[in-house]
Each structure stands twice: as structure tokens, then as C-alpha cells.
Amino acid sequence: MKTAHDLVTAAKSRIQEISVTEAEQAIQQADILIDLREPDEYAAGHLQGAVNIPRGLLEFKMSGSPELSARNLDIVVYCKTSGRAALAANTLHEMGYLKVKSIAGGFDAWVQNGNNIVTLALPAFE
């Protein structure tokens, strides 16, 4: 029986994983940057320009959004530590997307590298 770790390891052997340093340029060139974390994780802090599509909704969002249907889109994905992103990148390849990159170490590595993040400002109710 395979574990989640086994599945992530297998996915990482089939995808293009890039370092945080490489990610900066890849993000600038990307058509879409996808944050695969849950909405509360995204709200607490995310990469500038990232669109939140939780991992559990990815296939449905990609299939159901005409603007995301082109298989030659340049896509960069990330999650907290890169496990969900590896699985997502592998799935996107299986769906026919040709240019998918996953950020090694995910959001945590991005922050540890000293890169800026964006947080959602909540309205003040006074």
C-alpha cells in the first residue's frame, strides 16, 4: 500500500521542480501562478499575483475555465512545502498541460529565502 509520501516522491520524479531562486524568473514569465493551499492559508500570506485554486478543486477549475484551457499555458504551482504542488503538477501533465513548474519547498521555502508575500487585509468592523 502506497503512502502519501510515496505518491509525492513518485510525482516529483515526473515533474519539473524549480528552486526558489529559479521561481522568481519563472513567475515573471508565467501565464498563471497557482497557490494550491486552502483559502485560509492563502489569506494568511501568498506570493504576489497568485491565484488560489485549492488542490482539491484544481482539475475541476482547470477543466471548467475557458481561460485556462490552453494546454501551452506557462503554469507555476506551489503549496506549503511542495507535496501538494508535486501531485498537482503531475496531474496537470496528465491533463495535457505542457509547461508546468512546481516550486521546491513551496511557500515555506519562499518565505525562508526572504522573499515578499502578500496578505489579505480584512475589513475593520468598528
Which residues are part of the catalytic machinery? 79
Other beta carbons within 10 angstroms of residue 75's beta carbon come to 22
Say if residues 105 and 81 touch (Cβ distance below 8 Å): yes
3-state secondary structure at position 17: strand
Strand partners, 111: none
C-alpha cell at 84: 501538494
Mapped onto helix, strand or coil, the DSSP state of residue 92 is helix
- Distance in angstroms (rounded) separating the CA atoms of residues 62 and 112: 30
For the record, the C-alpha cell of 90 comes out as 503531475
